[in-house]
Amino acid sequence: MSFTLRHNSYGKSSVRLTKVIRTQQRHELMEMSVDLLLEGNFAESYLTGDNRKLIATDSMKNTVYVLAKENEFTSIEDFAHLICRHFCKTYPQVESAEATIAQTRWERIELDGKKHPHAFVGGDSEKRTCSVKIGKQGATATGGISGLEVLKTTDSEFSDFVTDRYRTLKDAKDRIFATSVEASWTYGQSVSDFNGCYAAIRAALLATFATHYSLSVQQTLLAMGEAALAACGDVRDIELKMPNQHRIPFNLEPFGLKNSNEIFVPTDEPFGMITGVVARK
């Protein structure tokens, strides 16, 4: 046969896990979805259907729950490291293991200003994310945030861009700026506190979005990336993807009215997509 299997990998996706840590005072809740991907000496399964080196994806799923039970961890980054180390250590045929985790936000319900010990409210599109890969070349780890929806009603311009045959958009000196921030940062080799790093970066992204006077989504993206790196010294670089979720001023002229930046149509499609990677010099 004149064909070759150039690359292969396999794993289990969307392994959903809820872990409750019960202390006297209160319960801690972690809820997440784990994707696991292995590379290694699995070609025989592709070539001949000989599965003797294959770890069933069902067994991978079991392993996630067993590791969650047998280990203490307080961040998804720690748990992802645990999982990857387990697969690399246990199976000689595994050359690399990658665990990608997305954690659901659950906030404690507040009653009379006090956080409840075991009742939570969720439903947020925002997830905390991480991805850890361990292989022969060592370990790499990223942390991240996805689905962080933010909107500001002013302090955003967009003007003086290319004018040619294809332009119909007018200069805007005051517009709504809305986006769903997706951030992914690379951790350095030794990180003391994944949770502290995540919290500092999240706060920096929100504060910068709120307070930066924006001449373009691009400019605000860079400012947010710089603030994130300034907030956590353990991070080498950060990639930001910021879709421009347009609020289009509704044209009230046919009705004899003036739209003084009050009435907008939120649209999902099409959307601008602005990306950038900010790194330490």
Q: Which value, in Å, is the radius of gyration of the alpha carbons in the chain?
A: 23
Q: Return d(Cα 60, Cα 14) in angstroms, integer.
A: 12
Q: How far is the CB of 26 from a second copy (least distance, A)?
A: 9
Q: Are strands 94-104 and 127-135 parallel, antiparallel or unpaired?
A: antiparallel
Query: Nearest distance from residue 142's CB to a second copy, in Å?
Result: 15
Give SS3 for 235.
strand
The residue (of 1 and 138) whose beta carbon lies closer to a second copy is: 1
Cβ at position 109, least distance to a second copy in Å: 5
Answer yes or no: 7 catalytic.
Answer: no
Q: Which two structure tokens, joined as six digits, stand for 133?
A: 């890969």
127 is catalytic: no
Catalytic residue among 61, 81, 212, 246: 246
Contact between 32 and 74 (Cβ < 8 Å)? no
Q: Is beta strand 177-187 parallel, antiparallel or unpaired with respect to 247-249?
A: unpaired
Phi/psi of residue 238, nearest 5 degrees: -145, 135
Q: Which of 12, 81, 133, 212 is catalytic?
A: 12
Shortest Cβ distance from residue 164 to a second copy (Å)?
A: 7
Cβ pair 73, 79 in contact under 8 A: yes
CB of 29 to a second copy, least distance (A): 6
Helix (H, G, I), strand (E, B) or coil at 147: strand
Query: Can the peptide bond before residue 270 be classed as cis, meaning omega within 30 degrees of 0?
Result: yes
Q: Which of 19, 27, 53, 57 is catalytic?
A: 57
Q: Is 57 one of the catalytic residues? A: yes
- C-alpha closest to that of 181 among 74, 273, 62: 273
Catalytic residues, which ones? Answer: 12, 57, 246
